[in-house]
Structure 1
Amino acid sequence: MLLNYHHLRLFHAVAHAGSLTRASENLNLSQSSLSVQVQKLEQQLGHALFERLGKRMNLTEAGRIALDYADTVFSTGDELVSVLKGRPQIAQSILRVGALTTLSRNFQLEFLRPLIGRPEVELVVRSGTMRELLAQLEAHAIDVVLSTMAVRRDAGSLLHSHLLDEQPVSLVGRPRADYADFRFPTDLNTVPVVVPSLDSDVRTAFDRVLSLAGVHPLISAEVDDMAMLRLLARESGGLTLVPPIVVQDELQTGVLVEVCRIAEVTERFYAIMQTRRFPNPLLAELMQSRSPVPGAP
């Protein structure tokens, strides 16, 4: 079967335009003619490439794969011209990653490190709420969502969560001599502490530990953003409840010290993916590069 590259070019235009109307205006073709050509490509490939929702043309999983290949095909043509003109380019594969706005940047960096700096790889990282990112994942606009929360499995869902890591949570603070005698949890009755917001599983577990001990902590701030938590840990005169990976640079340089590691509280990091017939090989590479987490499914 020989691929019709004219049909592929028209599909490429519609996919990037997002609608037949806009694409037909850009190409100076009628919508009906353009629709017929795209349908012929779908018949040739044996897969629907679009979900037609009113005037919108949303890519299916097969459509997203086809668009990635189409981008490569037509960028290769541009590369050919550049090479012959003495300006060589490198073809790239793309991995699209969604990350919760509250997720540690250091953890994101560690997860993506195997792909960073590789000239043949383009990384697209988007931040958002869980609802926004899962909607993008289901629409095949991103390949994976990085989160500290797992998705609920049910029979009708194609989404599943992979536990990437489970890390300890500590109380950290600026170096002070009296921290050598710090007693957890009783000293939290008088030492101010910065904590994650009530939406956090870490906060829930922390509150449970203190409640069982009869301790009422002196909370100086509650934040739901790890970047802000890191800044407050550096600026606050008290302690901050945080996974050490969030402040690893400060711990290494001595700006902060780990005062107490809380064994009963951990932070979990998940990769949320959708079951696909055509998984992104870059994502598979990242998942294979990680060591199995003890007790993970």
Structure 2
Amino acid sequence: MYDDLDAFAAVVEHSSLNRASRQLNLSQPALSRKISKLEERLGVALFHRFGKRLELTEVGRLTYTYALEQRQQRSKFLEALSKFKEGEPQLVTLGASLTTLQTTLPPLVNAYMEKYPAAELKLITGKTHEMVTAVSEGKCDVGIIASQVQEPGLRCIPLFEDQLRLVVAEHHPLAQSPRLTMEHLSRLPMILFSKGTWYRRTTDDLFQRCGVDPDVRMEIDSFEAIVRLLPTIKAAALLPKSYLRPELLNGGGLVSLHIKELEQTQRTTCLIYQGSGGLSTAARCLVQVTEEVFLSGRE
């Protein structure tokens, strides 16, 4: 039936049995039989016939729309099948801990989809231990987590080191200070991460060790929300260095400031996947792109 639909569509598009038969490399009688066979199967007339002139019936127009949809679906299927045969990735599931979602994934996803535009990427998010379990159990092909783990059956590859930086609006008084210490954060209006997060536990521990008592104005999990609010409420925040891309700082009128003690907040973001060698083609490609994005140029 699909061949007959293609023949029917060709007749409609060429407005002529003669021209359509040449395009399809069929004799005109053979093409006429295909059209008649299709009409017989559907039980309707697709054309009004006025001598050699053909005019689509109402159901003929509906059938032509259906024929085009089938042609497009078949084309997509054959393209996907071809890429599958060529070894290009199709579907891969990536798990990311919540703390890496806003820092690591944007450049990685952009690089992967640029290299494999036909691929499908499914994202699962959760806490670090949940992502480790998901990869171990095969629910995720690849995981990106903000810590190093030693889990039987998993490979853990360090991608980069990260640490917190003090971020303020460019017109904030601290932006002009030549040298900052943790003492500058005492009674400083700040936006902190919500309680229970790794970042909040880390900053609270650091504040306690350094005897710092900040003026907490807000507690938010979203990096983007914090960045947008900083100039508005004239506050400061501690954000991961990996998130503070130049275009983000410049576009938001923000500056990133170094404090020596913040080096104690360093943590390692890692790539994890099953080390048994059972990775799909899609997963292997994602691993390769991840290493290219974060490890290329490293000595």
TM-score by length of 1: 0.59
Query: How far has the Cα of 1:139 moved from its partner?
Result: 2.9
1:285 maps to which of 283, 288, 293:
288
Gaps of at least 5 residues in structure 1 are 1-77
> Corresponding residue for 2:108?
111
1:180-239 CA deviation, whole Å, 9 max, x = no partner?
137321121121122234544544444444434332222223334444444444544210
> Corresponding residue for 2:31?
none
> Corresponding residue for 2:216?
219
Higher-helix-fraction structure: 2
Aligned equivalents of 2:230, 2:274: Cα separation in 1: 36
2:127 maps to which of 125, 129, 132:
129
Aligned equivalents of 1:255, 1:115: Cα separation in 2: 30
> Corresponding residue for 1:159?
154
Contact 1:202 1:267 in 2 (8 A): no
> Corresponding residue for 1:272?
272
Over the residues paired in the alignment, what is the CA RMSD in angstroms?
3.5
SS of alignment partner, residue 193 of structure 1: strand
- 1:98 paired with 2:95, answer yes
> Corresponding residue for 1:17?
none
Gaps of at least 5 residues in structure 2 are 1-69
In the alignment of these two chains, the number of paired residues is 213
SS of alignment partner, residue 265 of structure 2: strand
TM-score by length of 2: 0.58
Cα distance change on mapping 1:221 and 1:267 into 2, 3 Å: farther
> Corresponding residue for 2:255?
257
> Corresponding residue for 2:166?
171
> Corresponding residue for 2:148?
150
Contact 2:143 2:273 in 1 (8 A): yes
AA aligned to 1:278 is G
1:254-274 CA deviation, whole Å, 9 max, x = no partner?
421123343333243122222
Query: How far has the Cα of 1:240 moved from its partner?
Result: 0.5
Larger Rg: 2
Aligned equivalents of 1:146, 1:79: Cα separation in 2: 40
> Corresponding residue for 2:6?
none
Aligned equivalents of 1:276, 1:205: Cα separation in 2: 34
